[in-house]
Every structure is written in structure tokens, then in C-alpha cells.
């Protein structure tokens, strides 16, 4: 889960203008106008953010579509499979307001170790698995729900050489709408030929009218969004729920990882002795949660269980040395986990860039 963030002049001027300008004052918006980077890429977003900031309805914030400024896809081979990381975009997140079971001092120290600030652009990733006979998507991005810097998944799928209509299967890690929002574009099924797989526990939790009624006022909107985005696939008979302990497809097995949501699931994918585990939302900040896996986030429905799932996942990934992929790890979000020698938590080792898709 992520927090919607309305871009504003302060954020753009202090965080996003990364091109040096002529007189060296990168914080001046007037000077930023001299930058090609600002004019071509950020100005359209900036203009919309100002309009959105003045508007009184949330819908006004959703009326933007700018092309993703980066390539948006990355290929990696895994045995007989091909894994393609896909970017839905990024969104600034205020870690000092969102992370829990920690202190602002600890957050500031750990982000500084990574040359970041406490407000950081967080990736929203999804992944394609190309097997011999299926095109399988892991998670589905945000669509219009989180503003103009996100909602690029379909565009990234096309840039990678595929179309959403070609997707046969969508595996959902959990029903938060930064992972399921992109299933629908208005009333249109974005993946009309796909069957959507969700753990039974997760589907039962989010699609239950009783749970909606019981939910705190601030949570109700997430139940409504879940129904809006997953409901149409359910109604069309295109959702399959599963229990754990068996493969869904050859080499592809869901694993229970509860806490962030009750039915949160990993997907372990193996081919020819190589393995990757898709992690969903077990981690939101590599700078903070690898060194300190006990740090939780406000969206964890059961923070204690979420931290326990995270510790178990980190320990296993470090011990076994397999690939992992996280929806909110910096794009492409694929890499390995290493235990720090001094016993201070874990370290993220991002994938080595490879034009041959080898990943080594
Ligand atoms: Zn998320």
C-alpha cells in the first residue's frame, strides 16, 4: 500500500529538479523553467498538480496522462522463463509519517546512509512471467487511483512488446489498490482474457460486506475500491481463489505471508534450478527496513504479523540466495538479500544491469 501524494511546488522545487541550472540555484522555479528536464517532463505534472491543488474534487487530480519518463521495463532470464519487471511509476512517500515501530531519528539516519531524504520516490512495480505457454502478470498497478505519477502499467507492458489483452493470468499478492487498481480502466477490464488468482483468505476479507460494515470509517474506502476493481472480474467468473501448499502452474507456488493484509501472498517461481520470490508489500523502504525489519508501516493490518513475515522472508532469502522482487523496491525491484556481517539486519543487493537478460 502507498499513500496518495499531491505534487506541489515545494516538493518539485526541493526534490525533483535534478538538473543543474545556469546560476546554480536549483530551488528556484523560475530558473527551473530553463531546464529542458523540467519543461519536457515535470512541467506538465507541475501544472496539473497546481490545478489539482485548487480543485475541490478528487477527480480533478486524476485527469492526467503523461508518458513515463523512463523505459518502464527490464528483462531477466530465469531458467526456461523470462521475467519482465514493469513500472507503474513512482510516487513520493513521507517515510517519517508512514513508518511505525521506529523513530524519526532512526529513519533520518537510515535514509541518510542511502543518500535519501525522509520523503522519497517509491516505485510501484508489477512483473510479467513468460512461460512456455502462458503470460502471467504479478500484480496490476494503480490506474487512476494515486494521481498523475502512477498508472503507467499498460504503457510499460506495451513498451515491453506485449499487450494487456495477451495476459492469461494475473497473480495478486494482496488486494490493496496499488496492486489491483490497474485491473480496471473505468468500466473496462484491462486484462479481458486473464483469470485473476487471489488467496481465499484475501478475497474473503476484502470482498465481504460484513467486513465493510465493521471497518473503521477511514478504511471503508479501501473496501469500496477493492469491490470496484476486483468485483467485475468476480462477476465475470474470472477470479479463482486458492489455498496454499500446491503449485498454481508448473513452477509457480503461492506462499502465505500474512500481516500487511490477512491473505497477503508471495509467489515463488522456479525453473531449471533458478528461483525468484515475488514479495508484494513485505517491504516499503529498502533504506530503513533491510537494516531494521522490525519497522512497520501504517497500512499493515496486523503490524506484528507483518514484521514476523518480513523477518522470515529476509532470513530465508539471505540463507538460500534466491532472487526476490518487491513491488515497492526501487525499479526494477529485483535483487538479492545479504545478512550484514555485524549482525545489523540485512543489505539489499540490486540486480546487475544486463543487456543479455542474464541478471548476473
Ligand atoms: Zn503496495
- According to the model, what pLDDT value does residue 157 have? 98
- According to the model, what pLDDT value does residue 359 have? 67
What spacing in Å lies between the alpha carbon of 205 and ligand 1's midpoint? 17
Q: Where are the alpha helices (DSSP H) in 69-208?
A: 95-98, 104-113, 153-159, 177-180, 200-206
Query: Does residue 167 share a domain with residue 58?
Result: no
Contacts of residue 309, defined as CB under 8 A and 6 or more positions apart, other chains included, come to 257, 258, 259, 260, 264, 282
Instruction: Give domain status of residue 138, yes or no.
Output: yes
What spacing in Å lies between the alpha carbon of 125 and ligand 1's midpoint? 9
Distance CA 94, CA 110 (A): 14
CATH number (domain holding residue 199): 3.60.15.10
Any idea of the CA torsion for 209, 230, 91, 34, to the nearest 10 degrees?
-130
What spacing in Å lies between the alpha carbon of 215 and ligand 1's midpoint? 20
Residue of higher predicted confidence among 141 and 49: 141
Query: Does residue 139 share a domain with residue 231?
Result: yes
Query: Does residue 114 share a domain with residue 185?
Result: yes
Query: Does residue 146 share a domain with residue 26?
Result: no
Instruction: Give domain status of residue 360, yes or no.
Output: no
Instruction: Give domain status of residue 51, yes or no.
Output: yes
What spacing in Å lies between the alpha carbon of 32 and ligand 1's midpoint? 32
Query: Does residue 43 share a domain with residue 124?
Result: no
The pLDDT tens digits of the residues spanning 292-305 come to 999 999 999 999 99
What spacing in Å lies between the alpha carbon of 175 and ligand 1's midpoint? 9
Instruction: Give domain status of residue 79, yes or no.
Output: yes
Contacts of residue 166, defined as CB under 8 A and 6 or more positions apart, other chains included, come to 135, 193
Domain boundary among 62, 82, 97: 62
pLDDT band at 48 (very low <50, low <70, confident <90, very high): very low
Instruction: Give domain status of residue 355, yes or no.
Output: no
Query: Does residue 161 share a domain with residue 20?
Result: no
Query: Does residue 251 share a domain with residue 171?
Result: yes
Q: In 3D, which of 252, 266, 278, 259 has the Cα closest to residue 333?
A: 278
Query: Does residue 15 share a domain with residue 154?
Result: no
Instruction: Give domain status of residue 220, yes or no.
Output: yes
Query: Does residue 223 share a domain with residue 298?
Result: yes
Residues listed for the chain: 360
What spacing in Å lies between the alpha carbon of 222 and ligand 1's midpoint? 12
Instruction: Give domain status of residue 298, yes or no.
Output: yes
- According to the model, what pLDDT value does residue 357 have? 76
What spacing in Å lies between the alpha carbon of 116 and ligand 1's midpoint? 20
What spacing in Å lies between the alpha carbon of 29 and ligand 1's midpoint? 32
What spacing in Å lies between the alpha carbon of 92 and ligand 1's midpoint? 13
Query: Does residue 269 share a domain with residue 164?
Result: yes
Query: Does residue 25 share a domain with residue 172?
Result: no
Residue of higher predicted confidence among 346 and 66: 346
**Domain span holding position 271:** 73-350
In the chain, the number of structural domains is 2
Cα angle value 159/186/52 (rounded, 5°): 85
What spacing in Å lies between the alpha carbon of 345 and ligand 1's midpoint? 22
What's the average model confidence in pLDDT over 62-72? 75
Amino acid at each position: 500500500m502507498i499513500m496518495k501524494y499531491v505534487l506541489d511546488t515545494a516538493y518539485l522545487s526541493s526534490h525533483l529538479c535534478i538538473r543543474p541550472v545556469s546560476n546554480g540555484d536549483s530551488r528556484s522555479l523560475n530558473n527551473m523553467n530553463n531546464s529542458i528536464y523540467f519543461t519536457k517532463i515535470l512541467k506538465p505534472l507541475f501544472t496539473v498538480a497546481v490545478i489539482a491543488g485548487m480543485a475541490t474534487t478528487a477527480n480533478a487530480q486524476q485527469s492526467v496522462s503523461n508518458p513515463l519518463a523512463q523505459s518502464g521495463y527490464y528483462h531477466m532470464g530465469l531458467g526456461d522463463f523470462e521475467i519482465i519487471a514493469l513500472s507503474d511509476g513512482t510516487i513520493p512517500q513521507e517515510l517519517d509519517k508512514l513508518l511505525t515501530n521506529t523513530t524519526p531519528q532512526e529513519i533520518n539516519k537510515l535514509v541518510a546512509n542511502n543518500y535519501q531524504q525522509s520523503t522519497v520516490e517509491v516505485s510501484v512495480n508489477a512483473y510479467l512471467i513468460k512461460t512456455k505457454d502462458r503470460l502471467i502478470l504479478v500484480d496490476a498497478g494503480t490506474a487512476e487511483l494515486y494521481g498523475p505519477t502512477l498508472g503507467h502499467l499498460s504503457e510499460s507492458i506495451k513498451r515491453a512488446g506485449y499487450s494487456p489483452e495477451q495476459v492469461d493470468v494475473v497473480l495478486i499478492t494482496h488486494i490493496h489498490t496499488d496492486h489491483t487498481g490497474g485491473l480496471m480502466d473505468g468500466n473496462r477490464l484491462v486484462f479481458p482474457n486473464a483469470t485473476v488468482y487471489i488467496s481465499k483468505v484475501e478475497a474473503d476479507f476484502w470482498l465481504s460486506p460484513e467486513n465493510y460494515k465493521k471497518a473503521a470509517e477511514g478504511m471503508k474506502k479501501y473496501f469500496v475500491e477493492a469491490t470496484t476493481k476486483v468485483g467485475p472480474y468476480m462477476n465475470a467468473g474470472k477470479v479463482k481463489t486458492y489455498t496454499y501448499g500446491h503449485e498454481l502452474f508448473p513452477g509457480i507456488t503461492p506462499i502465505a505471508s500474512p500481516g500487511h493484509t490477512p491473505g497477503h501472498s508471495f509467489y515463488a517461481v522456479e525453473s531449471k534450478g533458478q528461483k525468484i520470490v515475488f514479495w508484494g508489500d513485505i517491504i516499503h523502504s529498502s533504506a530503513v527496513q533491510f537494516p531494521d525489519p522490525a519497522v512497520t508501516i501504517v497500512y499493515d493490518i496486523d503490524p506484528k504479523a507483518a514484521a514476523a513475515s518480513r523477518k522470515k522472508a529476509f532470513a530465508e532469502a539471505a540463507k538460500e540466495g534466491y532472487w526476490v522482487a518487491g513491488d515497492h523496491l526501487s525499479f526494477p525491484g529485483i535483487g538479492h538479500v545479504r545478512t550484514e556481517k555485524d549482525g545489523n539486519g540485512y543489505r539489499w543487493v540490486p540486480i546487475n544491469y544486463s543487456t543479455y537478460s542474464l541478471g548476473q
